[in-house]
Amino acid sequence: MDQIFEKFRTLPVEEQLSPALTRRRYADFPVLVVDHPRAGQACLSLQGGQLVSWRPAGARPDDPGVLWSADPDLWRRGTAVRGGVPLCWPWFGPSGPAGSPSHGFARTTDWELTGWEEDADRVVVECTLRPSEATRALWPEEFVLVVRYTLTDSCLIEIEDRGDHTATAALHTYVRIGDLGRAHLAGLGPEHTDGITRRRYEDEDGTLTPVDHVERFQTAPAPVTTVRDEVLGRIVALAHHDHSDVVVWNPGAELARGMADLAPQEHRHFLCAETARVGRPLVAEEGRPGRLAVELRMTEL
């Protein structure tokens, strides 16, 4: 059972956009809810244009959903929602101007719902972010940033960055896991830079089982990262497209204690495997948008 979906599905419907897609509101967050017999169940926050839950239609009844998200009671307007798949753009990490939000302003800004489609096998949702006075105060570039979610038996997330500029970006996927230390990553590639020690490592086998704080920039990743979960009895595969890096992150116990939107021990129930353009930034040119995508798929063990 996906707790975010179960909470959001009971909210009053503000607008029935299609048979499976509704617009609702959780506190002061505008949200979208998808409930489709073949495309599964999903929830999105229009702040951040962000997928916060997805559970494929073929999942076991007791499956908690592919994505971990913080309890919505801990969400705060104007603060990035922790969980789901945050869209980090136009910079990654703390590399923006002084006083600017970490990972850019796309996560904390309201997006516009600009399109949707539905048929017997899929639901497609498109959201768009455009410049405003607030964004220009942080980043002077003109842009049109589009995110498109295609839900079938998989979940495809695509961003298209239009304009004439350079940016760094990541699709910061929080994969839900049963317990830290019992979920195993593969497909990370032979080399990485440790974000904690800044040391570089090579000649590795591309596997990792995190047990505490981890921050790794995998600089030669395989096209697909897998998370094999002993506790939940499943494998989540992330097929990356147009990426340069995969970032692996978990705050560990000590850092998690200082995070207001993490309940005690919640850090043990997610691993972030991020589809990123950090080492090779996104370049958007007239008629040639920058692109980045990930496709999520779940199979049982």
Contact 192, 227 (CB under 8 A): no
Confidence of residue 9 (pLDDT cuts 50, 70, 90): very high
Is residue 98 predicted with pLDDT exceeding 90?
Answer: no
Q: What is the CATH number of the domain that holds 81?
A: 2.70.98.10
Is residue 149 predicted with pLDDT exceeding 90?
Answer: yes
Percentage of residues in the chain having pLDDT higher than 70: 100
Give backbone dihedrals phi and psi of 170, rounded to 5 degrees, phi first. -155, 145
For the chain, how many structural domains are there in total?
Answer: 1
Is residue 100 predicted with pLDDT exceeding 90?
Answer: no
How confident is the model at residue 96, as a pLDDT?
A: 82
Q: What is the pLDDT of residues 101-143, one digit of tens each?
A: 899 999 999 999 999 999 999 999 999 999 999 999 999 999 9
Which of 118, 158, 274, 295 is labelled catalytic? Answer: 274
Which of 36, 103, 172, 243 is labelled catalytic? Answer: 172
Domain of residue 246, residue span? 3-300
Look at the chain and count its residues: 301
Contact 240, 294 (CB under 8 A): yes
Q: How would you class 248 by CB atoms within 10 Å of its CB: exposed for 0-12, middle for 13-18, buried for 19 or more?
A: buried
Is residue 97 predicted with pLDDT exceeding 90?
Answer: no
Q: What is the pLDDT of residues 164-192, one digit of tens each?
A: 999 999 999 999 999 999 999 999 999 99
How confident is the model at residue 95, as a pLDDT?
A: 79
274 catalytic? Reply is yes
Tokens of 58: 């073929």
